[in-house]
Amino acid sequence: MNRVLRVKLLRLLGPLVAALPALPAPGAEIVGRVELPKAHGAPVKTQNYEVVASSGTIPAPKPLAVVYIDGEFPPTGPAPTVQLVQKGLTFIPALLAIQVGTKVEFPNFDDLYHNVFSFSPPKRFDLGRYRTEDRPVPSQVFDKPGLITLRCEIHSHMRGQILVLNTPHFVVTDESGRFRLAGLPAGKFTVKAWIDSTTTRERTVELLPGATLTVDFP
Protein backbone atom coordinates (compact mmCIF):
# COMPACT_ATOMS: atom_id res chain seq x y z
CA MET A 1 0.00 0.00 0.00
CA ASN A 2 1.48 3.33 -1.05
CA ARG A 3 1.71 6.29 1.26
CA VAL A 4 -1.08 8.33 -0.39
CA LEU A 5 -3.61 5.49 -0.10
CA ARG A 6 -2.62 4.85 3.53
CA VAL A 7 -3.20 8.52 4.42
CA LYS A 8 -6.63 8.44 2.75
CA LEU A 9 -7.63 5.33 4.71
CA LEU A 10 -6.52 6.91 7.97
CA ARG A 11 -8.60 10.00 7.21
CA LEU A 12 -11.66 7.86 6.48
CA LEU A 13 -11.29 5.53 9.48
CA GLY A 14 -10.17 8.14 12.01
CA PRO A 15 -13.67 9.53 12.81
CA LEU A 16 -15.12 6.00 12.94
CA VAL A 17 -12.50 4.80 15.43
CA ALA A 18 -12.96 7.91 17.56
CA ALA A 19 -16.73 7.28 17.72
CA LEU A 20 -16.34 3.77 19.10
CA PRO A 21 -17.03 3.46 22.86
CA ALA A 22 -13.97 2.96 25.00
CA LEU A 23 -13.58 -0.55 26.34
CA PRO A 24 -13.92 -0.75 30.13
CA ALA A 25 -10.74 -1.44 32.04
CA PRO A 26 -10.53 -5.05 33.29
CA GLY A 27 -11.69 -5.37 36.89
CA ALA A 28 -9.31 -6.00 39.72
CA GLU A 29 -9.86 -8.71 42.32
CA ILE A 30 -8.92 -9.46 45.90
CA VAL A 31 -8.48 -13.01 47.20
CA GLY A 32 -7.51 -14.19 50.66
CA ARG A 33 -8.63 -15.71 53.92
CA VAL A 34 -10.19 -14.43 57.14
CA GLU A 35 -9.46 -16.19 60.42
CA LEU A 36 -12.87 -17.12 61.83
CA PRO A 37 -13.97 -17.75 65.44
CA LYS A 38 -15.21 -21.12 66.64
CA ALA A 39 -18.87 -22.15 66.44
CA HIS A 40 -21.06 -22.90 69.46
CA GLY A 41 -24.28 -24.91 69.68
CA ALA A 42 -27.54 -23.24 70.63
CA PRO A 43 -29.82 -24.74 73.32
CA VAL A 44 -33.33 -25.76 72.28
CA LYS A 45 -36.16 -24.97 74.69
CA THR A 46 -39.91 -25.31 75.00
CA GLN A 47 -41.50 -22.19 73.52
CA ASN A 48 -44.72 -20.23 73.92
CA TYR A 49 -46.86 -21.99 71.33
CA GLU A 50 -45.29 -25.41 70.85
CA VAL A 51 -42.60 -27.77 72.10
CA VAL A 52 -39.56 -27.70 69.84
CA ALA A 53 -37.45 -30.17 71.82
CA SER A 54 -37.27 -31.13 75.45
CA SER A 55 -33.48 -31.08 75.60
CA GLY A 56 -30.30 -31.02 73.53
CA THR A 57 -28.91 -28.49 71.11
CA ILE A 58 -29.21 -27.52 67.48
CA PRO A 59 -25.75 -27.21 65.89
CA ALA A 60 -24.97 -23.57 65.27
CA PRO A 61 -24.05 -22.55 61.74
CA LYS A 62 -20.33 -22.22 61.20
CA PRO A 63 -19.08 -18.63 61.54
CA LEU A 64 -18.62 -16.63 58.36
CA ALA A 65 -17.23 -13.19 57.60
CA VAL A 66 -18.15 -10.48 55.12
CA VAL A 67 -15.35 -8.85 53.12
CA TYR A 68 -16.07 -5.55 51.36
CA ILE A 69 -14.44 -2.35 50.16
CA ASP A 70 -15.41 1.12 51.36
CA GLY A 71 -15.69 4.05 49.00
CA GLU A 72 -17.92 6.17 46.81
CA PHE A 73 -19.29 4.15 43.89
CA PRO A 74 -21.68 5.01 41.04
CA PRO A 75 -25.19 3.51 41.14
CA THR A 76 -25.35 -0.07 39.90
CA GLY A 77 -29.05 -0.11 39.00
CA PRO A 78 -32.13 -1.23 40.95
CA ALA A 79 -31.44 -3.15 44.14
CA PRO A 80 -32.35 -6.86 43.88
CA THR A 81 -34.85 -8.90 45.85
CA VAL A 82 -33.29 -11.78 47.81
CA GLN A 83 -34.60 -14.44 50.17
CA LEU A 84 -33.68 -15.45 53.71
CA VAL A 85 -35.62 -18.61 54.48
CA GLN A 86 -36.67 -20.42 57.62
CA LYS A 87 -36.10 -24.15 57.30
CA GLY A 88 -35.27 -26.82 59.87
CA LEU A 89 -35.81 -24.28 62.66
CA THR A 90 -32.90 -22.17 61.40
CA PHE A 91 -32.37 -19.10 59.23
CA ILE A 92 -30.74 -19.86 55.87
CA PRO A 93 -28.35 -18.25 55.27
CA ALA A 94 -27.48 -17.46 58.88
CA LEU A 95 -25.52 -14.43 57.64
CA LEU A 96 -26.79 -12.44 54.67
CA ALA A 97 -24.89 -9.48 53.22
CA ILE A 98 -26.86 -7.00 51.10
CA GLN A 99 -26.55 -3.50 49.70
CA VAL A 100 -28.67 -0.63 51.05
CA GLY A 101 -32.08 -0.62 49.34
CA THR A 102 -32.33 -4.40 48.92
CA LYS A 103 -35.69 -6.08 49.50
CA VAL A 104 -35.52 -9.30 51.53
CA GLU A 105 -38.29 -11.89 51.55
CA PHE A 106 -38.68 -14.29 54.51
CA PRO A 107 -40.43 -17.48 53.27
CA ASN A 108 -41.28 -20.14 55.85
CA PHE A 109 -40.42 -23.67 54.64
CA ASP A 110 -41.21 -25.37 57.97
CA ASP A 111 -44.58 -27.01 58.62
CA LEU A 112 -45.19 -24.81 61.63
CA TYR A 113 -45.50 -21.16 62.54
CA HIS A 114 -42.61 -18.71 62.69
CA ASN A 115 -42.61 -15.08 63.75
CA VAL A 116 -39.54 -13.17 62.53
CA PHE A 117 -38.71 -9.86 64.18
CA SER A 118 -35.82 -7.48 64.82
CA PHE A 119 -35.14 -4.85 67.47
CA SER A 120 -31.97 -3.63 65.71
CA PRO A 121 -31.80 0.19 65.37
CA PRO A 122 -31.23 0.23 61.56
CA LYS A 123 -34.47 -1.72 61.03
CA ARG A 124 -37.13 -2.60 63.59
CA PHE A 125 -39.95 -4.86 62.41
CA ASP A 126 -42.23 -7.73 63.38
CA LEU A 127 -43.60 -9.96 60.61
CA GLY A 128 -46.15 -11.71 62.83
CA ARG A 129 -47.01 -15.41 62.84
CA TYR A 130 -47.22 -17.13 59.45
CA ARG A 131 -46.89 -20.56 57.84
CA THR A 132 -45.65 -21.92 54.51
CA GLU A 133 -48.94 -21.42 52.67
CA ASP A 134 -49.45 -17.82 53.77
CA ARG A 135 -49.24 -15.29 50.94
CA PRO A 136 -47.82 -12.86 50.10
CA VAL A 137 -44.42 -13.80 51.48
CA PRO A 138 -43.50 -11.30 54.24
CA SER A 139 -40.71 -8.94 53.19
CA GLN A 140 -38.79 -5.83 54.25
CA VAL A 141 -36.73 -3.21 52.41
CA PHE A 142 -33.48 -2.41 54.23
CA ASP A 143 -32.75 1.26 53.57
CA LYS A 144 -30.11 1.98 56.24
CA PRO A 145 -26.64 0.45 56.67
CA GLY A 146 -25.86 -1.56 59.76
CA LEU A 147 -26.27 -4.96 61.39
CA ILE A 148 -29.73 -6.49 61.73
CA THR A 149 -30.16 -9.33 64.23
CA LEU A 150 -33.09 -11.62 63.43
CA ARG A 151 -35.02 -13.68 65.94
CA CYS A 152 -38.13 -15.83 66.02
CA GLU A 153 -40.67 -14.96 68.71
CA ILE A 154 -41.76 -18.61 68.88
CA HIS A 155 -38.34 -20.33 68.74
CA SER A 156 -35.88 -18.38 70.85
CA HIS A 157 -32.82 -20.40 69.74
CA MET A 158 -33.18 -19.13 66.16
CA ARG A 159 -30.70 -16.39 65.21
CA GLY A 160 -29.94 -14.74 61.91
CA GLN A 161 -27.99 -11.70 60.80
CA ILE A 162 -28.27 -9.28 57.89
CA LEU A 163 -25.35 -6.95 57.25
CA VAL A 164 -26.54 -3.97 55.21
CA LEU A 165 -23.68 -2.24 53.39
CA ASN A 166 -23.24 1.06 51.54
CA THR A 167 -21.20 -0.60 48.79
CA PRO A 168 -21.90 -2.95 45.87
CA HIS A 169 -18.55 -4.68 46.34
CA PHE A 170 -18.84 -7.37 49.01
CA VAL A 171 -18.72 -11.13 49.45
CA VAL A 172 -19.40 -13.65 52.22
CA THR A 173 -16.52 -16.02 52.95
CA ASP A 174 -16.83 -19.78 52.80
CA GLU A 175 -16.70 -21.84 56.00
CA SER A 176 -12.89 -21.90 55.94
CA GLY A 177 -12.75 -18.12 55.72
CA ARG A 178 -11.63 -17.94 52.09
CA PHE A 179 -13.03 -15.32 49.74
CA ARG A 180 -12.73 -13.86 46.25
CA LEU A 181 -13.91 -10.31 45.61
CA ALA A 182 -13.96 -9.71 41.85
CA GLY A 183 -14.93 -6.99 39.37
CA LEU A 184 -13.41 -4.20 41.46
CA PRO A 185 -12.53 -0.73 40.20
CA ALA A 186 -8.94 0.47 40.22
CA GLY A 187 -7.87 2.86 42.94
CA LYS A 188 -6.96 3.11 46.60
CA PHE A 189 -9.52 1.63 48.98
CA THR A 190 -10.01 0.30 52.50
CA VAL A 191 -10.80 -3.41 52.53
CA LYS A 192 -12.78 -4.51 55.57
CA ALA A 193 -13.48 -7.95 57.01
CA TRP A 194 -16.58 -7.92 59.20
CA ILE A 195 -16.34 -10.89 61.57
CA ASP A 196 -18.99 -10.13 64.21
CA SER A 197 -20.75 -7.18 65.84
CA THR A 198 -17.59 -6.22 67.75
CA THR A 199 -14.83 -7.22 65.32
CA THR A 200 -14.04 -5.63 61.97
CA ARG A 201 -10.53 -5.75 60.57
CA GLU A 202 -9.30 -3.53 57.75
CA ARG A 203 -6.44 -2.98 55.33
CA THR A 204 -5.63 -0.16 52.92
CA VAL A 205 -4.91 -1.42 49.40
CA GLU A 206 -4.25 -0.04 45.94
CA LEU A 207 -5.96 -1.94 43.13
CA LEU A 208 -4.64 -2.00 39.58
CA PRO A 209 -6.78 -2.81 36.51
CA GLY A 210 -6.89 -6.56 35.91
CA ALA A 211 -4.58 -7.32 38.84
CA THR A 212 -5.20 -9.87 41.62
CA LEU A 213 -4.24 -8.87 45.15
CA THR A 214 -3.94 -11.30 48.06
CA VAL A 215 -5.14 -9.97 51.41
CA ASP A 216 -5.35 -12.11 54.55
CA PHE A 217 -6.91 -11.11 57.86
CA PRO A 218 -5.19 -13.15 60.56
pLDDT for the residue numbered 10: 53
Query: Which H helix or E strand runs over 17?
Result: helix 3-19
Question: Strands 212-214 and 28-33: what pairing?
Answer: parallel
pLDDT for the residue numbered 15: 54
Cα–Cα nearest to 68, from 209, 202, 210? 202
Is 171 a residue whose pLDDT tops 90? yes
Cα–Cα nearest to 90, from 39, 124, 135? 39
Cα–Cα nearest to 217, from 29, 93, 65? 65
Domains of the chain: 25-214 (2.60.40.420)
Q: pTM of this prediction?
A: 0.82
Determine the average pLDDT of the residues in 48-64. Answer: 62
What is the average pLDDT value for the chain, to the nearest integer? 86
Tell me how crowded residue 143 is: count the other CB atoms within 10 A of its CB: 13
Q: How confident is the model at residue 23 (pLDDT cuts 50, 70, 90)?
A: very low
